[in-house]
Amino acid sequence: MALRIGDTAPDFVQESTIGPLHFYEYLGTSWGILFSHPADYTPVCTTELGVTAKLMAEFRKRNVKVLALSVDPVDAHQGWVKDINETQATEVNFPIIADADRKVSTLYDMIHPNASETVTVRSVFFIDPNKKIRATITYPASTGRNFQEILRVIDSLQLTDQYSVATPANWQDGDECVIVPSLKDPDILKQKFPKGWREIKPYLRLTPQPNK
């Protein structure tokens, strides 16, 4: 059964490039991003893992731990990591799960039989510190992910958890935000949004990003 937003992310123990990995223990109190790759030694995945490694400082700044998954075994992963480091001019410094028995892929519904019965699609799961799935993105094997969008989603989730706002279309960190429609009391609005707001319609009110 497909996992949905708000579901608890399943826990697991599986082999990885850093040894046996207990998912919940690895995440601890951090946010997590779990993303799957169709196979080792594939060109698109090689570029994706290289970009991920280069963005590790950005993930750490947001208290996010990342881990990748491929259905190949650990020894293949280790050789592939050397290729990634060489070709992408980086150092892979996060675990890659070796899901040779498809245990995790099955738990997270990463194999879509109408696309392929053997390899995973490019799934992305955003998981909060309470181990709840907060967002998902799924790409076909042929389309590489936009990691700036992944960071943008994390920024939005963390911002909207803390403040009574939502983020509009094409929002980037620092842009105006939307005040949630359920918030109507004028006194509370003034307290929560001391920088003020623009009312375009009663249900569409824009305010400067509260934490900037």
Q: Is 45 a catalytic residue?
A: yes
Give 186's DSSP letter: H
Specify the pairing of strand 13-14 against strand 21-22. Answer: antiparallel
Residue 152: CA count within 13 A, CB half-sphere: 15
How long, in residues, is the chain? 212
Phi, psi at 82, each rounded to 5°: -60, -40
**H or E element: which one contains 177?**
strand 177-179
User: Do residues 154 and 126 touch, judged by C-beta distance below 8 A?
Assistant: yes
User: Do residues 26 and 95 touch, judged by C-beta distance below 8 A?
Assistant: yes
Among 9, 21, 45, 111, which one carries the catalytic annotation? 45
Q: Looking at the annotation, which residues are catalytic?
A: 45
